[in-house]
Structure 1
Amino acid sequence: MKKLVLLACITAISIVTSCKNDKKETKEVEKQELPVTEKFVVKPEATSIGWTAYKTTDKVGVAGEFTTVDFDEKSGSTPQEALNNLTFSIPISSLFTNDPTNTRDTKITQTFFGSMIDPDFIKGTIKYTNNTCTALLTMNGVTNELPLEVSITDERRVKLSGTMNLKDWNALEALEALNKVCFDLHKGADGISKTWEDVSIEVSTFLRKN
């Protein structure tokens, strides 16, 4: 009888131990099988905003940039998801054209943007869905769509490019004011002074992973 009781106890202990081991192994397997999800994060310090305006009838480019852009940190499981609904704000005071005299920067900020309803900021939101990208851009009190072409390399380096037509933001009066203060500088070989309505935009950013 004692042998039977001892055998039953050993059997019970073996079953309990086996169950604990099975549970431990199951938890370890479940833990190992959990997918590791990486997130793409858009960082302002990794973003540059360049632009090219044009002068003279030969359409000579004048390049510049905004050295500062502010936006809420945004992440996503894909570059498209990270960029979609990304809101941004660009201080006009960060405009830079690499002009040694700084007179060009002053004319653009004070005369061109200074003629606008909001002379301090350009704001917007990027919409990137179904492989179509646009920026809902607010400038001079007007919000309009700016279609953007997207180039993504290695899933991390992103370039967005597009062309603004200033009339879509009611900015032709501001453009005329700029052309007046730059009248002689915007003359070509034909003697005609011209400042073009279209401005090329190129945004470059590097998506970090976390």
Structure 2
Amino acid sequence: MNKFSTILFALIFSSLLTSCKSEAKKETSKEETETTSTEKAAPYSLKNAETTIGFTAYKTTDKVPVNGTFEKIEITNGGDGNSVKEAINGVEFNIPISGLETKDNGRNLKIRKFFFGVMENTVSLTGKLSIDSDSTGVADFTMNNMTQKLPFKYSIEGKTFNMNTTMDIAKWNAQSAIDSLNIVCKDLHQGEDGVSKTWSEVAINASSTFK
């Protein structure tokens, strides 16, 4: 084999070797992409679910209900699973106070400013849900710079998760916030007995329907 043939053979062999390496890298990259895609695609994801959060507060000594909702919720950690229960268990969330809605702009402003606004670090409500049994769980709920455990009951119907609980806001050291709101709403929270009252008890219900 002459010198020219030797050089030509070396070039061809080098080209084939490089091509094989390139194809191997492409296959590896494709496998990695497919694996990552499979890991992310959980059958149930709270980020894609339709979630509603409602609450009922109470005023006057007759305990007249005042209903509202939080129209925004952010899933900050977890929320994925192979079942509804698995997706809920361990999920962490953030609920901005700016999303509070009671269908009364004046009331919305008062609650944001004179209730949540006098608390510490309460631009949003945060928490983590943990499932204890087939019907009960507990939320590590943070408000007014304090985290307390909030037990709840739940049910699962098909792809829909429903939960409800009642919280005593005073347990989050928020009595001053209740008093603050009652002052600005004194006349509106006054019953036939002439007493103005804002209850520390608030009922909460939430529902998530997975797609």
Residue pair 1:161, 1:201 contacting (<8 A) in 2 also:
yes
* Map 1:56-205 → 2, pairs under 5 A: 56-72=60-76, 74-99=79-104, 102-131=105-134, 132-154=136-158, 156-205=159-208
Give the TM-score taking structure 1 as reference length.
0.77
**8 Å CA contact retained: 2:161, 2:208:** yes
Gaps of 5+ in 2: 1-40
Number of aligned positions between the proteins: 169
Shift of 1:151: 1.5
Counterpart of 1:86, as a letter, is V
1:119-144 Cα shifts (integer Å, max 9, x gaps): 30100000113333111100000101
The 1:62–1:143 alpha-carbon spacing in structure 2 relative to 1, beyond 3 Å, is same
Please tell me whether residue 43 in structure 1 is matched to residue 47 in structure 2. yes
| TM-score (norm. length: structure 2) | 0.76
Q: Secondary structure at the match of 2:189?
A: coil
Secondary structure at 1:178 match in 2: helix
Structure 1 residue 206, shift from structure 2 partner = 0.6
CA deviation after TM superposition for structure 1 residue 82, in Å: 0.8
Supply the RMSD in Å over aligned alpha carbons: 1.6
Structure of larger gyration radius: 1
